[in-house]
């Protein structure tokens, strides 16, 4: 097995945020992404009120994706999504305790009802995946911080995250970190540099363990 830990070619890879033990997560293979944006649509629909494409487009507030397919430095398309970092910079920065970790599915979640829309999390997120938008689940439909929730409801019900289900090219896969690394055809997993603060907090946690 060969894992490049180049400073150079590093793209969206959740693997590195794995902190030990077994863990299932969405792993992004940008080289397989063809930029069709099916994941963005599936994500928007999954987080809409009606969960149906045709009625979702007329909903207010308009459903928003939590995964973003954009053009990367090599002009290839690049699916950008919350890495559910461990420890998570947004969680550390949130003053109101709206951000927490769901241990069962290893996901960083935002509780909109506690969010005061202060924008501290966007300032802290090293990947730029937090947006602000009215949330229909709240009684007054306030604008709050929104980001990928790993489709926890679906995961807990035993199905795949919506973006993974929608991705037909294998650019987004959900699986056990270890298994995936072991797979032969995924030998060349390029790694993404861990944000400095995440690395520092890990050494603090290791010291305290």
Partner 1 sequence: MKDYLVLGGSAAGLAAAEAIRRKSKDAKIAIVSDEPGRPYNRPLLSFALGGTTPADQLFARPGQYYTSWGFDCLSGKRAEGLDPQKSHVVLDNGQKVDYDVLLVATGSSPAPLDIPGMNLEGVFYFHTKKDMNDVNACLKDTTQAVVIGGGLVGIRVADALQKRGVQVTVLIASPFPLSQIADEASAVMVADVLRARGVHLVTRASPVEIQGKNGSVAGMVLENGETIPCQLVVVGKGVVPNTRFLEGSGIQIRRGIRTSSQLRTNLPGVFAAGDVVETLDLAKGYPDLHALWPAAVEQGRIAGCNMSGETIAYHGTISCNAIRIGEFHMVSGGISNPPEGNGYQSIVCHSPKRRIYKKIVTKGDRIVGMIFVNDIASAGVIIRLIKQKRRLSSVDADLLAPRFNVGQISLVL
**Least distance (Å) from partner 1 to the CB of residue 204?**
6
Which of 41, 60, 50 lies closest to 136 in space, CA to CA?
60
Cis peptide before 113 (omega within 30 of 0): no
Instruction: Using CB under 8 A, count the residues that bind partner 1.
Output: 49
Q: Which runs of consecutive H residues, i.e. helices, occur in the chain? A: 38-46, 53-56, 89-93, 120-124, 152-156, 162-166, 177-182, 196-208
**Nearest to ligand SF4 of 99, 180 (CB atom):** 99
User: Residue 120, interface with ligand SF4 (CB under 6 A)?
Assistant: yes
Distances 167 to 11, 48, 114, 122 between C-alpha atoms, Å: 18, 19, 33, 27
Choose, by CB under 6 A, the member of 33, 98, 148, 164 that binds ligand SF4.
Answer: 98
Ramachandran angles phi, psi of 101, nearest 5°: -105, 130
Are residues 29 and 183 in contact, defined by beta-carbon separation less than 8 angstroms?
no
Distances 87 to 11, 47, 183, 192, 194 between C-alpha atoms, Å: 20, 25, 27, 16, 11
**Nearest to ligand SF4 of 91, 166 (CB atom):** 91
User: Residue 1, interface with ligand SF4 (CB under 6 A)?
Assistant: no
User: Residue 17, interface with partner 1 (CB under 8 A)?
Assistant: no
SS3 196: helix
Q: Which stretch binds partner 1 (CB under 8 A): 49-57, 101-109, 116-124, 162-170?
A: 116-124
| Torsion angle of C-alpha atoms 200, 206, 207, 209, degrees rounded to 10 | 140
User: Residue 115, interface with ligand SF4 (CB under 6 A)?
Assistant: yes
**Least distance (Å) from ligand SF4 to the CB of residue 81?**
17
**Least distance (Å) from ligand SF4 to the CB of residue 130?**
7
**Least distance (Å) from ligand SF4 to the CB of residue 47?**
16
Q: Which stretch binds ligand SF4 (CB under 6 A): 24-32, 112-120, 134-142, 167-175?
A: 112-120
**Least distance (Å) from ligand SF4 to the CB of residue 97?**
8
Give the interface with ligand SF4 as residue ranges (CB under 6 A). 93-94, 96, 98-99, 110, 115-121, 144-145
């Amino acid at each position: 097995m060969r894992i490049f830990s180049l400073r150079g070619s590093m793209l969206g890879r959740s693997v590195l945020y794995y902190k030990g033990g077994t863990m299932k997560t969405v792993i992004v293979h940008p080289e397989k992404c063809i930029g069709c944006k099916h994941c963005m649509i599936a994500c928007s629909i999954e987080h809409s009120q009606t969960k149906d494409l045709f009625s979702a487009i007329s909903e207010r507030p308009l459903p928003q994706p939590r995964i973003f397919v954009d053009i990367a430095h090599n002009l290839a398309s690049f699916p950008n999504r919350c890495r559910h970092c461990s420890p998570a910079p947004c969680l550390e920065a949130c003053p109101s305790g709206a951000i927490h970790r769901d241990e069962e599915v290893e996901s960083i979640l935002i509780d909109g009802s506690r969010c005061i829309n202060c924008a501290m999390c966007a300032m802290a997120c090293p990947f730029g995946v937090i947006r602000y938008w009215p949330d229909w689940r709240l009684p007054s439909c306030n604008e709050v911080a929104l980001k990928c929730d790993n489709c926890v409801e679906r995961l807990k019900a035993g199905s795949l995250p919506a973006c993974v289900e929608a991705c037909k090219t294998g650019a987004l896969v959900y699986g056990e970190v270890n298994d995936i690394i072991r797979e032969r055809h995924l030998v060349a997993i390029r790694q993404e540099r861990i944000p400095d603060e995440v690395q520092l907090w890990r050494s603090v946690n290791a010291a305290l363990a």
